[in-house]
Structure 1
């Protein structure tokens, strides 16, 4: 079963893997297109591990443009791993914000 430490490790790897692409996009020195970077992000191990974390706790997953929606009954928990404020700015959400959402999933699973 995926635990929070595994997600944290995946977060760190993701941040290290994408910092250069994000910096280039944010400074408009694009060698790689925004959509290409977003696609690689969504296909990354980090996104998969977060989805597995939720699925293993009984949540149904819907993925949208850099966002994961976990649904169970009437409850929905939105997990933003990366924010895209416009066509030239990407930010990896801080670990503390992701951790809040993961803990929310666990709390609602226990109820």
Structure 2
């Protein structure tokens, strides 16, 4: 998704913009079910609904705050919303890729159950 957002920022023609949007749509279509699956599979089954609910709530909050922030950034430059989105996508990917390393490859729910 970061690549497609960067392509949107750099698009000079309408065809480049359409190609970047197609790439963005494909990335979103692959990412959304994957995130739901990861949330469902992480941790104990008893907390699955809570994890999925928090994930959906975070997505809803992002869909509300994102356009407002993008509008403010657009006033500063037409490419800035896309560059900020690309940076956010890279940060999110880095967070997800290092999550297992931070928790020692155990889920947080499993660690709390062991302490109890």
Identify the TM-score tier after normalising by the shorter chain: 0.3 to 0.5
| Max Rg structure | 2
Looking at secondary structure, tell me which structure has more strand per residue. 1
TM-score of the pair, normalised by structure 1? 0.41
Looking at secondary structure, tell me which structure has more helix per residue. 2
